[in-house]
A = this chain, B = another copy of it.
């Protein structure tokens, strides 16, 4: 008996390929046309998937039919996705019915929107999986991955970052914070991690007594890890180095470490500690 067929709804970055490689050649690749700028998806890159479905966010009915045609029973969303532009002229009946709720959810935070997307697939009879359930070793166990041992001050900064993110959790804003010498120098907003770390790099000189510091990245409290899992990668390490930080503290089992080999070598080279805490 083979496993129920999986469809990968592919966003940007390295994750879709990692998932396809782990899930095997029997997997269905779904590409969404439209997207943030309304641009058409490149149809060339099938990432080795045997089956491919091109879908539009306005025509979810057609997507569900195509998935059922391929006997898909479970889906995984892999890679970063922008909030899509929606062309009302293209709506099919299935999508038109859920669009008012979807538009309302889009006005809120990421979580509200993504919870709704999960619910839409589930109500259509598809199981929704998380990338970390399919690809082994994407997240970290407790403890240090690389770099020097964090100092007591680094650990205090990490603890303060955790408590700030925990307080911010119910507001559904961001997954990252920078704390240096007890002072919060950055909180992740809709512009994302890189923009925040660049902000810290450019402005930390204005704050006396804030040397070193730690970037803390965690899932939001209660966040559904099946979509929009927090992630770090080689660019995160580069940005942390430019921001003058001592370390990156991520949540055990809940934050993806992408392109781990490059992350390790760059962090070791720059002397940036990366460790995981529950």
Interface residues, chain A, CB within 8 Å of chain B?
36-37, 82-83, 85, 106-109, 156, 163-164, 167-171, 173-174, 181-187, 189-192, 195, 199, 203-204, 206-210
Contact = CB atoms under 8 A, between A and B. Distances in A.
Contacts of A163: 171
Contacts of A109: 182-184
Contact of A108 (B36, B182, B189, B210): B182
A156 B203 CA distance: 30
A277 to B, nearest CB: 17
Contacts of A173: 164, 184, 187
Given A107-B181, A163-B171, A164-B173, A195 B206 contact: yes
Given A36-B208, A170-B167, A209-B106, A203 B187 contact: no
A215 to B, nearest CB: 13
Given A108-B182, A171-B184, A190-B210, 20 more contacts: A36-B208, A37-B208, A83-B209, A107-B156, A109-B182, A163-B171, A167-B167, A167-B169, A167-B170, A168-B171, A173-B184, A173-B187, A183-B189, A183-B190, A184-B189, A191-B204, A191-B207, A195-B199, A199-B199, A199-B203
